[in-house]
């Protein structure tokens, strides 16, 4: 286990490998439903033009879930671009394989089960690494960023897309009850609700250079490896 210092052990996405199939199927259905929302799709794919998608030859999507982002990347890239999706849930990976094949997008796409904290790929193996709604759920955000930096090529791009869950709120006549519900929702939904606010510090520690940051309902941060910095041991 990795200790992030602010992790909540009830994050349903972080705990996916230990859950039974019925719960995982609910998670898969929720992920796919989210992918049908036009606003979410527009936000989550807005950075494709800015993160070297067209020039990349090998792309790694860490925390791929049911493959929504991978399928979108496959549609946005040219023939011959290799896209690899990794997730720590074998059921979600199997779902991603099936849906990708059903949409006829599996010629250049492969999936595998793996841990974002210990990626089973050589150094510098990918031109682009995406962390799509992942960093808020992991045990150790810094370790995941360091691994992303390790497997991306010198000068390559790591794209982080996630939410500022610390700002989650809603209106309700009883403010005390509303606050309690907000806190419980955060505990169940996300392990690291403030991680996007910590991103400048984490990127510096991971020896990644911040290129662009966009604030919206979700946050998009485009970062590149710094070829002047020596790799982390």
Q: In what order do the strands lie in the sheet with 218-225?
A: 109-113, 82-87, 58-62, 126-132, 152-163, 218-225, 208-215
In a domain, 34, yes or no: yes
CA quadruple 168, 170, 174, 177: dihedral positive or negative?
A: negative
Cα separation, 25 vs 153, in Å, equals 35
Q: What's 111's domain CATH number?
A: 3.40.50.150
What mean pLDDT is predicted for residues 26-35?
83
In a domain, 10, yes or no: no
**Which segments of 67-194 does DSSP mark as H helices, in order?**
68-76, 90-102, 141-151, 175-189
In a domain, 7, yes or no: no
Q: Domain span at residue 105?
A: 16-225
Cα separation, 125 vs 116, in Å, equals 15
216 pLDDT more than 70: no
In a domain, 132, yes or no: yes
Instruction: Give the total number of structural domains in the chain.
Output: 1
Kindly indicate the confidence band of residue 223, based on its pLDDT and cuts at 50, 70 and 90.
low
Residue 219 pLDDT: 41
In a domain, 9, yes or no: no
Task: Give the least confident one: 96-105, 202-211, 215-224.
Answer: 215-224
Residue 123 pLDDT: 96
Does residue 140 or residue 11 have the better pLDDT? 140
> Which string of DSSP letters, residue by residue, matches 11-54?
-TTTTGGGS-HHHHHHHHHHHHHHTT-HHHHHHHTGGGGGTTTT
Residue 218 pLDDT: 36
């Amino acid at each position: 286990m990795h200790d992030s210092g602010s992790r909540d052990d009830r994050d349903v996405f972080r705990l996916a490998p230990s859950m039974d199939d019925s719960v995982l199927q609910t998670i898969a259905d929720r992920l796919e439903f989210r992918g049908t929302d036009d606003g979410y799709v527009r936000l989550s794919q807005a950075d494709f033009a800015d993160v070297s998608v067209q020039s990349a030859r090998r792309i790694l999507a860490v925390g791929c879930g049911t493959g929504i982002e991978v399928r979108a990347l496959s549609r946005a890239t040219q023939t011959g671009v290799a896209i690899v999706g990794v997730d720590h849930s074998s059921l979600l990976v199997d779902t991603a394989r099936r849906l990708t094949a059903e949409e006829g997008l599996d010629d250049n796409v492969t999936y595998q089960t793996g841990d974002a904290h210990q990626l089973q790929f050589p150094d510098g193996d990918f031109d682009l690494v995406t962390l799509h709604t992942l960093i808020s759920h992991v045990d150790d955000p810094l370790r995941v960023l360091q691994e992303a930096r390790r497997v991306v090529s010198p000068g390559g791009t790591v794209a982080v897309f996630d939410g500022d869950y610390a700002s989650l709120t809603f209106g309700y006549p009883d403010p005390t009850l509303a606050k309690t519900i907000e806190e419980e929702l955060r505990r169940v939904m996300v392990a690291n609700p403030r991680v996007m606010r910590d991103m400048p510090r984490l990127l510096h520690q991971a020896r990644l250079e911040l290129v662009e940051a966009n604030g919206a309902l979700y946050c998009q941060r485009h970062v590149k490896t710094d070829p002047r910095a020596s790799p982390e041991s």
